[in-house]
């Protein structure tokens, strides 16, 4: 019977299912990115277990010491353990960066969906806002905003959100403009589904991939921004450990104790590398077949 | 005769273009009774898909209905608001598309896609909607529905995808199913299965179908009545058997003569000369006159109305006897 033959031919296609779960380990950049980030996140989470000094506890009798069995990476100018500050700094910076990418991601994606789907004056208004934000250089605007709002993590979130949402809106809007002309959207409409349902149940899952991939590279920018703000004294406030602050504090002793600035610098580079590899791998894996 | 389920009267759809307007559908009228199948035939650009989309109220943004009425189950949807029209979609009138790959959401499991309308439109619980979806998959002949329900569209064959789409269209319990060339993208053996499935469903569920196609063999197999469209106008309507035996419009005659392998001994296929007219500047008088073998002077001016040419039949031709006489001289189908 023809139906049976079709079923057999179809079953073979079915068995060759190449899902995300079966492909991730064959994507080197994804494995590399996840490994590097995994190590950093693990260290940050297990911070109290893998350090033997508090990140803020000073020991003024043992300042600017080199590596020893007690202080693995030595101490800074206030006698604080560098290894401990590095690990606790990862906690601060990763948490702030993750949250700082979440708000622009959510707001930007929502605006992109709505403006791409409805078009007309909504689209015109959103585009006008995007152009206003894009007209300013990223760092100039962030620093100006933090300067105006005052330093501290809450204001970092606000500043990065105000500046960062535009990229997500542009990406999602472009994807929606293409996707909304596809027949499955017309089919959903012909089923009498509401606009909200079409937007969030049908369009969003089809377009969000690009935004997720971008978020992984955007978080690198955010970490750099947070570190930069910390370096300028506008970021996370002392005594909370933060890599940017560590680099700034170590600067004074660069000629004699270069490792004070270099070690957190390497940590920033490794985190950025891990995230970039992850973004690259995700882009490969999430690309529709 | 009872009130028809779908009644389209003098429908006119215009596209706004940068250089003016284009009338894609011009005073088209057709009716579909409950449980009946109407074929809408015409070549590309004849306005059949636009007419269908006007019926469901899903025209492209640049197009609008400028005249005429579309009544579905007694409701004039051209006068109704968007909410009323949306309420009819899915539950009264549903649509099947030409290309099942693009008409299914690529990142949603097919079972979820079929269960969506029962859940959202019919208010079923998630669990009941899932059961409904599996029943529908069984109804449209998908083997092993439990396993297939968790598949994504790209994991299914073309025939199965089209069955999934039919299941989705049926999931809101519609009375009228609009099929926009549902078999064109499929190969011939699968095409036949899908046509038989649609016919079976029509009998079992008492559905009314509108079947858009350029394939006369498909129309002959599935439809009781047909409306032939040319350059945005309905040029001939009637029962399929009558029209095929004795076409009353030269365009219908030309279409039938140009079909290969139609159980008729024909030495050579007769193509219709020329090309369809530019709808932005249609010819005066009869739109078919530049290509018509029977053209006379009076064809060149004035709008040509639909003439009553027999029981339940109409043709938009001043000289409809000529086409009929030609068909009698040399039958277009065997045993006519």
Digit-coded pLDDT (tens) for B200-247: 999 999 999 999 988 888 888 889 999 999 998 999 999 998 998 889
Given a cut of 70, whether residue A65 has pLDDT beyond it is yes
- Provide the pLDDT for residue A246: 87
Contact: B106, A288; criterion CB under 8 Å: yes
The answer to whether residue B99 neighbours chain A at the CB level (below 8 Å) is yes
Show contacts of A76-79: CB within 8 Å, 24+ apart. A76/A246, A76/A249, A76/A250, A76/A260, A77/A249, A77/A252, A77/A253, A77/A260
Contact of A13 with chain B, judged by CB distance below 8 Å, is answered with yes
Q: How far is CA B207 from CA A112, B138, B228, in A?
A: 40, 18, 22
Helix, strand, coil percentages in chain A from 3-state DSSP, rounded to 5? 75, 0, 25
pLDDT at B152 over 60: yes
A15 or A273, higher pLDDT: A273
Poorest-pLDDT segment among A10-14, A281-285, B112-116, B131-135: A10-14
Average pLDDT for A129-134 = 93
Average pLDDT rounded to a whole number, residues B100-108: 89
Long-range contacts, B252-255 (Cβ 8 Å, 24+): B252/B228, B252/B315, B252/B323, B253/B323, B253/B326, B253/B327, B253/B332, B254/B291, B254/B293, B255/B41, B255/B216, B255/B228
Residue B335: CB atoms within 10 A of its CB come to: 7
Judged against a pLDDT cut of 60, whether residue B334 lies above it is answered with no
Distance CA A88, CA A110 (A): 34
Take residue A274 and report the two structure tokens written for it: 């891990």
Among A116, A119, A191, the strongest candidate for a mutation testing the B interface, having the largest count of B CBs within 10 A, is A191
Does the pLDDT of residue B336 top 50, yes or no? Answer: no
Segment B154-173 shows an average pLDDT of: 92
Grade residue A223 by pLDDT with cuts at 50, 70 and 90.
confident
Helix, strand, or coil (residue A122)? helix
Interface of A with B in 187-206 (CB under 8 A): 187-194, 197, 201-202, 205-206
- Provide the shortest C-alpha distance from residue B229 to chain A (in Å): 23
Q: Which chain B residues are within 8 Å of A4, Cβ to Cβ? A: 143
Chain-chain contact of B143 with A4 (C-beta, under 8 angstroms): yes
Mean pLDDT of chain A: 84
3-state secondary structure of A211: helix
Q: Measure the CA angle with vertex A131, ends A125 and A133; round to 5°.
A: 110
The answer to whether the CB atoms of B165 and A187 lie below 8 A apart is: yes
- How many angstroms separate the CA atoms of A33 and A23, rounded? 15
Peptide bond into A239 cis (omega under 30): yes
Q: With a cut of 80, say whether residue B263 has pLDDT above it.
A: no
Q: CA distances (Å), A172 to each of A116, A177, A183, A275, B276, in order?
A: 8, 9, 19, 21, 40
pLDDT of residue A9: 47
Length in residues, chain A? 289
Higher pLDDT, A79 or A94: A94
Return all residues near B20 (Cβ < 8 A) that are at least 6 apart: B280
- Closest chain B residue to A208, measured at CA: B107
User: Taking 80 as the threshold, does the pLDDT of residue A71 lie above it?
Assistant: no
DSSP annotation of A24:
G
Chain A residues touching B156 at Cβ < 8 A:
10, 13-14
By three-state DSSP, how is residue A75 classified?
strand
- Are the C-beta atoms of A79 and A139 separated by less than 8 Å? no
Asked whether A210 and A171 are in contact (CB, 8 A), the reply is yes
**Alpha-carbon gap, residue A115 to A176, rounded angstroms:** 9
For residue B280, CA distances in Å to B12, B45, B49, B61, B214 come to 14, 12, 18, 18, 22
pLDDT at A57: 76
Is ipTM strictly over 0.90? Answer: no
More confident residue, B149 or B45: B149
CB contact under 8 A, A184 and B104: yes
A230-244, B49-63, B125-139: range with highest mean pLDDT: B125-139
Q: How far apart are CA B238 and CA B230, in angstroms?
A: 15
Per-residue pLDDT for A119 more than 50?
yes
Residues of B in contact with A188 (CB under 8 A): 105
Q: In what order do the strands lie in the sheet with B93-96?
A: B93-96, B176-180, B208-213, B37-41, B225-230, B233-239, B313-315, B307-310
Does B237 touch chain A if contact means CB atoms closer than 8 Å? no
Give the C-alpha separation, B156 to B248, whole Å: 44
CA distance A121 to B182: 37
Q: Say which range, B86-95, B158-167, B281-290, has the weakest mean pLDDT.
A: B281-290
Q: DSSP state, A200? A: I
- Best of A1, A185, A192, A197 to substitute, by most chain B Cβ atoms within 10 angstroms, is A192
Any CB–CB contact under 8 A between B104 and chain A?
A: yes
β-sheet bridge partners, residue B227: B40, B237
Q: Tokens at residue B303, please?
A: 């709008």
Any CB–CB contact under 8 A between A4 and chain B?
Answer: yes
Does the distance separating the beta carbons of B88 and A193 come in below 8 Å? no
Sign, Cα dihedral of B68, B22, B286, B245:
negative
Helix (H) or strand (E) holding A227: helix A204-231
8 A C-beta contact, residue B232 and residue B220: no
Does B4 score more than 80 pLDDT? yes
* Mean pLDDT computed over A137-146: 88
Residues B106, A206: C-beta atoms closer than 8 Å: yes
Per-residue burial over B306-333, b if 16 or more Cβ lie within 10 Å, else e, is bbebbeebbbbbbbbebbbebbeeeebb
A6, A189, A197 ranked by CB distance to B120: nearest? A197
Rounded distance between C-alpha atoms, residue B118 and residue A142, angstroms: 49
């Amino acid at each position: 019977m023809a139906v049976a033959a079709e079923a057999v031919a179809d079953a073979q296609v079915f068995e060759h299912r190449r899902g995300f779960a079966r492909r991730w380990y064959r994507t080197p950049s994804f494995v590399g990115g996840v490994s590097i980030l995994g190590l950093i996140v693990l260290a940050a989470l297990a911070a109290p277990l893998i350090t033997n000094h508090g990140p803020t506890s000073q020991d003024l009798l043992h300042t600017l010491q080199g590596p020893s069995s007690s202080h693995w990476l030595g101490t800074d100018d206030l006698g604080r353990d560098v290894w401990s500050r590095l690990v606790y700094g990862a906690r601060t910076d990763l948490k702030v960066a993750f949250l700082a990418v979440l708000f622009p991601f959510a707001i930007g994606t929502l605006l992109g969906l709505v403006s791409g789907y409805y078009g007309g004056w909504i689209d015109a208004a959103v585009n006008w806002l995007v152009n206003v934000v894009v007209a300013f250089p990223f760092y100039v605007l962030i620093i100006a905003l933090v300067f105006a709002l005052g330093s501290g993590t809450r204001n970092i979130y606000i500043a990065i959100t105000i500046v960062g949402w535009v990229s997500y809106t542009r990406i999602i809007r472009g994807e929606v403009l293409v996707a909304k002309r596809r027949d499955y959207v017309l089919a959903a409409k012909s089923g009498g589904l509401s606009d909200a349902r079409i937007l969030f149940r049908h369009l969003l899952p089809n377009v969000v991939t690009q935004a997720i991939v971008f978020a992984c590279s955007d978080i690198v920018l955010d970490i750099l921004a947070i570190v930069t703000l910390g370096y300028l004294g506008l970021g996370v406030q002392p005594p909370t450990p933060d890599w940017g602050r560590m680099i700034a504090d170590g600067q004074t002793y660069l000629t004699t104790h270069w490792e004070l600035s270099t070690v957190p610098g390497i940590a920033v580079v490794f985190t950025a590398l891990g995230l970039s590899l992850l973004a690259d791998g995700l882009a490969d894996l999430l690309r529709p077949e | 005769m009872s009130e028809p389920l779908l009644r389209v009267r003098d429908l006119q759809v215009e596209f706004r273009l940068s250089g003016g307007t284009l009338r894609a559908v011009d005073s088209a009228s057709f009716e579909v009774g409950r449980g009946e199948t109407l074929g809408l035939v015409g070549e590309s650009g004849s306005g059949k898909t636009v007419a269908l989309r006007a019926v469901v109220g899903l025209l492209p943004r640049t197009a609008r209905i400028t005249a005429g009425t579309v009544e579905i189950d007694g409701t004039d949807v051209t006068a109704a608001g968007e909410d009323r029209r949306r309420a009819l979609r899915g539950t009264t009138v549903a649509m099947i598309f030409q290309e099942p790959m693009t008409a299914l959401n690529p990142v949603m499991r097919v079972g979820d896609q079929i269960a969506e309308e029962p859940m959202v439109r019919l208010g079923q619980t998630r669990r009941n909607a899932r059961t409904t979806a599996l029943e529908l998959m069984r109804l449209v002949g998908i083997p092993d529905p439990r396993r297939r329900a968790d598949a994504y569209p790209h994991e299914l064959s073309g025939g199965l995808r089209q069955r999934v789409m039919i299941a989705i269209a049926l999931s809101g319990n519609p009375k009228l199913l609009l099929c926009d060339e549902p078999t064109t993208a499929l190969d011939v053996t699968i095409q036949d299965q899908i046509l038989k499935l649609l016919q079976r469903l029509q009998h079992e569920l008492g559905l009314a179908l509108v079947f858009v196609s350029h394939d006369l063999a498909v129309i002959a197999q599935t439809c009781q009545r047909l409306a032939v469209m040319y350059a945005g106008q309905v040029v001939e309507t009637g029962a399929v058997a009558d029209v095929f035996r004795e076409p009353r419009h030269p365009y219908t005659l030309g279409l039938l003569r140009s079909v290969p392998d139609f159980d008729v001994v024909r030495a050579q296929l007769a193509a219709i000369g020329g090309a369809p007219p530019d709808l932005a500047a249609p010819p005066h008088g009869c739109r078919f006159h530049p290509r018509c073998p029977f053209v006379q002077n009076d064809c060149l001016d004035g709008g040509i109305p639909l003439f009553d040419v027999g029981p339940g039949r109409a043709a938009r031709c001043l000289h409809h006897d000529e086409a009929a006489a030609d068909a009698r001289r040399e039958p277009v189908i065997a045993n006519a």
